[in-house]
Amino acid sequence: MLTGLNDTVRLANGVEMPRLGLGTYKSAEGGDVEGSVLAALELGYRSIDTASLYGNEAGIGQAIAASGVARDEIFLTSKVWNDEQGYDNTLAAFSRSLERLGTSYLDLYLVHWPRAQAHDTWRAIERLYAEGAVRAIGVCNHLEHHLEALLRVADVAPMVNQYEMHPWLQQPSLREYCETHGIVVEAWAPLMKGRVAEEPVLVEIAARHGKSPAQVAIRWLLQRGVVTIPKSVHRERIAENAGVFDFGLTDAEMSAIDAVDRGYRFGPEPDRGGER
């Protein structure tokens, strides 16, 4: 049952993760990110996604502090960037993220892209988890073969795989692989980078429900059991993106959206990707 922003999914280790959170890629520090995090927390969001790459962790930390919402009510995610991977580098990168965010722990720490040093990076992340510095651990942008390689060497399996997923890029076999292995799927670019209105099926279904294409795209993910983190720096859109709990998509509508998959990536292909 989907009821609201307090809905959570239980990760493999029992930690509860909000199903809908705020994305912050390209939300600039010094106004945009602080304003959007404050607005989101006021509107009832309890999950914020960032990364050291985004250069906005300090602003997010300040907004959380200013919000008056207790730290332990917020699910805070950050990520280790490509040039921070490796055992010692990852430990140092994690400390820097904590310091910038002004927090003593993270709720979720993710490997941003699969890299050659994946095993050493993961050992560092397992250590942070064992020490209680992070409540849950996971990866981003991992295809089946990356996950298989990681699962062969991991003492603690990743609890989350955050990857690009939206109506135009669905990768059903990857989702099935994750679900079979107890890895929660978290979709990035749920709004197709702001281009949801270019998909006529979303537009048509949205009109039928008196909703926006963005709301239909988010609802489709939630009904598939996928966690997601739409990004906006505008309060009215942050509210709109959370207005997805007062309607439901029928099986036929879900299938109609499944059928628009065209394997279209806005971001890099994980085997080649992650360099910007």
Q: Where do contacts with ligand NAP occur on this chain (CB under 6 A)?
A: 23-25, 49, 112, 140-141, 162, 188-194, 212, 214, 229-234, 237, 240-241, 267
Q: Could you tell me the smallest distance in angstroms from the CB atom of residue 132 to ligand NAP?
A: 24
Alpha helices in the chain (DSSP H): 32-43, 57-67, 87-101, 118-130, 144-153, 172-180, 200-209, 213-223, 235-242, 251-258
Dihedral Cα 87, 93, 95, 98, nearest 10 deg: -140
Nearer to ligand NAP, 177 or 188 (CB): 188
Reference 201, options 136, 253, 273; nearest CA is 253
Which amino acid makes up residue 87?
A: Y
Residue 45 annotated as catalytic: no
Q: How far apart are CA 165 and CA 257, in angstroms?
A: 13
Residue matched to tokens 């919000």? 67
Smallest distance from the beta carbon of 235 to ligand NAP, in angstroms?
A: 10
Q: Which of 54, 129, 163, 177 is catalytic?
A: 54
Least separation, in Å, of the C-beta of 50 and ligand NAP? 7
Tokens of 242: 């959370």
Q: How far is CA 103 from the centre of its chain?
A: 19
> Given the complex with ligand NAP, which of 23 and 86 has the nearer CB atom?
23
> How would you classify the pairing of strands 75-80 and 106-111?
parallel
- The HSE-up count of residue 3 (CA atoms within 13 Å, CB side) is 5
In the complex, minimum distance from the CB of residue 24 to ligand NAP, in angstroms, rounded to a whole number: 5
Catalytic residues: 54
